[in-house]
Structure 1
Amino acid sequence: MNKVLIVITVASILIAVGTVIYARRRQARVMEGLGEMLEQAMNGTFIESAFDETRRSALENRLAQYLAASELSVRNIAGEKNKIKTLIADISHQTKTPIANILLYTEMLQEKNLEQEEAEYVDSLHQQAEKLQFLIASLVKLSRLETGIISLKPEIGDISEAVEQAVDQYREKVTEKGLKLVENYVKADAVFDCKWSVETLCNLLDNAVKYTDSGEITVGVKPYELFVCVKIADTGIGIPEEEQAKVFSRFYRSVKTASQEGVGIGLYLSREILAEEGGYLKLMSKPGTGSVFSAYFPRSISASGDSMSKNSDGKYTGIGDLE
């Protein structure tokens, strides 16, 4: 009797050990299969038909289906981007010459001795053509940026040089409006794409000049531990608190500024550019007092990626220690 019990016990132990070994080997094969599929997916060489469905677990099958769908989605997205790229190129090319001709002919008409009413019509036509030209150029830039057709190339450099380039483009306009320009620069290294950062600062300066009738415009550069702040302050009409979030929306125009030039895309484009660089655009404003736009540029490449994260509003967090 004891011998039978011993035999049964030994057999049970052997069966248990064998089951464990089989399960572990099977699990190892599954993990190897999953690893191989993931590696091929990351390399862009995943092909669903290359894996034998009869030898895979249900988990492997589901993962294979997911990866196949993901690969298809990537190809579809790439195809759509190519279509958008072609469309944008066509729009830019097809509209450039007609608008340039309209501007040329209206300028020629402005030189003629026209009646007052006729001259007003020509001036209005010229202004609308300029507005259309600016709108198309802005939309092309924005579309290329959003679809990834063009990408920013941030590099470490002295941000004050980019600030000076932008300010130089608006010195004449500031003087024409009788405004005072206050400049407070310090050399400060930051991570930024010079071309697009100048574009951002020009948008901010354009708004400052446009909506300020008297007083001054102050441009300053101030370094912090993780960021460099470029601050553009004006003594203009200001922005009500309930509109301060809206001004960063695409094509938003306040009722108070509807009569002014512009299409409502500059601030949206500026914020997108700064976000791509790992920075952030901050606004402080009070009606009748003026506005302060602060553009924060990361001081290092690691700061642009590691120290900031997007919240549910699409804004970057991690700048609570800044002014």
Structure 2
Amino acid sequence: MKYVALAAVLLALAVLVYDRLRLRRTMNSLDRMLDDAVCGAFVPTHFDESRLSAVEARLKRYLDASGTSAARLAEDRARVQALIADISHQTKTPIANLLLYAGLLADKDLPPDCRDCVAQLTAQAEKLQFLIASLVKAGRLETGAIEVHPKEASVQALVSAALREATPKAAEKGVALLAPPDTAAAARFDPKWTQEALGNLIDNAVKYTPSGGCITVSVTPYELFCRIDVADTGIGLAEEECGRVFQRFYRSPAVRGEQGVGLGLYLAREIAAANGGYIKVASRLGEGSTFSLFLPKA
């Protein structure tokens, strides 16, 4: 009986060692398969009825389908880029001519009703020009035709440049622009595109803040991000709208009569995301809004 028990223990140990070795071989094979898949050099090597062979076959089908989807996506992006280029090229000259002839008409001695028509013609042509430019920018960002190159830069310089562009429009409307005190904060962002994103936030605040209102821009550095707040005393947003204002072409029902196409905040969000940051909004209807742009630190 003693020898039988010893033999049973040895047999159990042998089975255990065999199972461990087989498991190690299987894991090594799976590890090799994943490495080959990552490198794009995966080729099935097992052609039997084992589970490993079935896994290889399914992985091969998945990689083939992924490759086909990636190729189709690249083709679709190329078509969109070509379409965007065509739209930009084909509409630039007609819109410029509309504005030119409208300007020539405005210089003529026209009756008051005709002068009003010329003013409307100019305004609509400018709106169309802005819409086409915004659509082109959005399309290029989405398809990767425009690349954002973040680098360490001064947040103060970014804010100052955006405020300089917004000051004339704010002054014309009678809205006060309060700049933050000088700060040495730095973050990683593409200066050109991030200035456009911040400019869109400030322009949006100016647009929806009534005359006599105030817009305050402030900078708060954190450990991982630098936050730029654009706080206004404008009309504000309903709670259910805060999650929708960054959608493409979204316009609040309260501002349908205002100029705009609903792309400014969408573009700002896309640019922030391309920089590795994000935008949040806090607002109360009738009390104003605060849009916060978060930029990653170096």
TM range, smaller chain: 0.7 to 0.9
Distance 2:16 2:243 in 1: 63
Listed as ranges, the gaps of 5+ residues in structure 2 are none
Q: Write out per-residue CA displacement over residues 136-166 of structure 1, whole angstroms, 9 at most, x where no aligned residue.
A: 1111111222222323221122111111111
Partner of 1:110: 106
**C-alpha distance 242-76 of structure 1, shift in aligned 2 (>3 A):** closer
**How does 1:121-140 map onto structure 2 within 5 Å?**
121-140=117-136
Q: Does structure 1 residue 63 correspond to structure 2 residue 59?
A: yes
Q: Is the 8 A contact 1:214 1:235 kept in 2?
A: no
Partner of 1:51: 44
Q: Write out per-residue CA displacement over residues 161-199 of structure 1, whole angstroms, 9 at most, x where no aligned residue.
A: 111111111111122222322111322111211111101
**C-alpha distance 126-173 of structure 1, shift in aligned 2 (>3 A):** same
Q: Does structure 1 residue 174 correspond to structure 2 residue 170?
A: yes
Letter in 1 for 2:278: Y
Q: Does structure 1 residue 78 correspond to structure 2 residue 74?
A: yes
**How does 1:82-93 map onto structure 2 within 5 Å?**
82-93=78-89
Partner of 1:268: 266
Report which structure shows greater RCO (CA 8 Å, sep ≥6): 2
Partner of 1:209: 206
Partner of 2:282: 284
Letter in 2 for 1:268: Y
Q: Is the 8 A contact 2:44 2:56 kept in 1?
A: no
Partner of 1:319: none
Q: Does structure 1 residue 99 correspond to structure 2 residue 98?
A: no
> Taking structure 1 as the reference length, what is the TM-score of the superposition?
0.80
What's the offset of the Cα at 1:36? 4.1
Distance 1:18 1:181 in 2: 79
What's the offset of the Cα at 1:201? 0.9
Q: Is the 8 A contact 2:236 2:287 kept in 1?
A: yes
What's the offset of the Cα at 1:51? 3.2
Q: Secondary structure at the match of 2:228?
A: strand
What's the offset of the Cα at 1:119? 1.6
What's the offset of the Cα at 1:215? 2.6
Q: Does structure 1 residue 187 correspond to structure 2 residue 184?
A: yes
Q: Is the 8 A contact 1:30 1:57 kept in 2?
A: no
Distance 2:289 2:29 in 1: 59
Partner of 1:142: 138
Q: Secondary structure at the match of 1:220?
A: strand
Q: Write out per-residue CA displacement over residues 6-52 of structure 1, whole angstroms, 9 at most, x where no aligned residue.
A: 8xx9799789948964x667666655554444333323344xxx535
Q: Is the 8 A contact 1:33 1:60 kept in 2?
A: no
**C-alpha distance 19-281 of structure 1, shift in aligned 2 (>3 A):** closer
Q: Is the 8 A contact 1:251 1:263 kept in 2?
A: yes
- My pick for the range that moved more, 257-266 or 54-63, is 54-63
Q: Write out per-residue CA displacement over residues 46-89 of structure 1, whole angstroms, 9 at most, x where no aligned residue.
A: 4xxx5356256111111111112112222221222112111111
Distance 1:41 1:214 in 2: 62
**C-alpha distance 29-74 of structure 1, shift in aligned 2 (>3 A):** farther
**C-alpha distance 86-271 of structure 1, shift in aligned 2 (>3 A):** same
Distance 1:228 1:149 in 2: 27
Q: Write out per-residue CA displacement over residues 105-134 of structure 1, whole angstroms, 9 at most, x where no aligned residue.
A: 111111111222222222112111111111
Partner of 2:156: 160
Q: Secondary structure at the match of 1:191?
A: strand
> Taking structure 2 as the reference length, what is the TM-score of the superposition?
0.86
Letter in 1 for 2:68: L
Instruction: Report how many residues are paired.
Output: 291
**C-alpha distance 173-208 of structure 1, shift in aligned 2 (>3 A):** same
Q: Secondary structure at the match of 1:233?
A: strand
